[in-house]
């Protein structure tokens, strides 16, 4: 089962994979407006943590440039391109002042990416990660599937198993407080897997 998804790692930078494996915690921040500076400070983030943000990174004002940061941007199948990428405004400046910064493009066709995107790590969708076994794709609208956050959790859970790493996966803001819920994701499946797994959930 684990070997079936190894191709998903082929277009990720070796530096990013090494950072993931060496991390003490993988901290995933939801695009949830209820997350505050107090929530971030309570995590006591340090140089061994990897902080993960998504798409347009709505909580970017809470991030610290001196830490390891990873931005994951999902393919926009309706309009093409990726949510929040290429970077504009403050997000465009963030990588310039952060030597511990990584970007990942999620989904789409890696071989048709424009030249400006070729240096960014790429993660394909619909991979057989253990956490996605039994995901009810057939019950969802066309193009439905795992939420970006849950797909990332499934990916980090997979890498942890594959590499026999001991990092902790921490979810912040992935709850019913302040978020929005598109009907293209199987929220009940994602909640149940999270409850029964060993990930740490920080309630707001």
pLDDT digits (tens, 9 = 90+) for 28-51: 999 888 899 999 999 999 999 999
Would you state the pLDDT for residue 177? 47
pTM (whole model) above 0.75: yes
Query: Residue 111 forms beta bridges with which residues?
Result: none
Would you state the pLDDT for residue 126? 87
> What is the Cα–Cα distance from 188 to 92, expressed in whole angstroms?
35
DSSP annotation of 82 reads B
Residues 6+ apart with CB under 8 A from 203: 175, 177
- Average pLDDT estimate for 187-193: 90
Contacts 24+ apart (CB under 8 A), 73-78: 73/103, 73/104, 73/105, 73/106, 74/106, 74/107, 74/148, 75/105, 75/106, 75/107, 75/108, 75/125, 77/107, 77/108, 77/143
**Domain spans of the chain, in order of start:** 3-202
CA 169 to chain centre: 11
Give 147-188 pLDDT, tens digit per residue. 899 999 999 999 999 999 999 999 999 875 444 555 667 888
Query: What is the number of other CB atoms lying within 10 angstroms of the CB of residue 42?
Result: 11
Would you state the pLDDT for residue 67? 92
- Determine contact, residues 128/1, Cβ cutoff 8 Å: yes
Give 106-157 pLDDT, tens digit per residue. 999 988 888 878 889 999 998 999 999 999 888 776 667 888 999 999 999 9
- To 10 degrees, what angle do helices 187-196 and 148-163 make? 30
């Amino acid at each position: 089962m684990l070997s079936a998804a190894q191709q998903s790692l082929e277009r990720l930078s070796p530096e990013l994979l090494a950072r993931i494996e060496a991390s003490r915690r993988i901290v995933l921040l939801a695009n949830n407006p209820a997350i505050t500076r107090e929530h971030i400070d309570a995590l006591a983030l340090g140089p061994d943590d990897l902080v993960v943000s998504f798409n347009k990174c709505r909580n970017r004002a809470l991030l610290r440039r001196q830490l390891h940061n990873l931005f994951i941007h999902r393919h926009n199948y309706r309009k093409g391109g990726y949510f929040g990428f290429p970077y504009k405004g403050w997000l465009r400046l963030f990588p310039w002042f952060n030597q511990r910064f990584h970007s990942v493009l999620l989904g789409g066709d890696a071989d048709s990416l424009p030249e400006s995107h070729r240096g960014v790590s790429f993660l394909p969708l619909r991979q057989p990660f253990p956490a996605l076994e039994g995901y009810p794709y057939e019950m969802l609208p066309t193009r439905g599937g795992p939420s970006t956050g849950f797909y990332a959790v499934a990916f980090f859970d997979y890498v942890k198993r594959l590499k026999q790493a001991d990092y902790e996966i921490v979810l912040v803001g992935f709850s019913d407080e302040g978020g929005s819920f598109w009907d293209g994701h199987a929220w009940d499946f994602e909640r149940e897997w999270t409850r029964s797994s060993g990930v740490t959930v920080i309630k707001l």
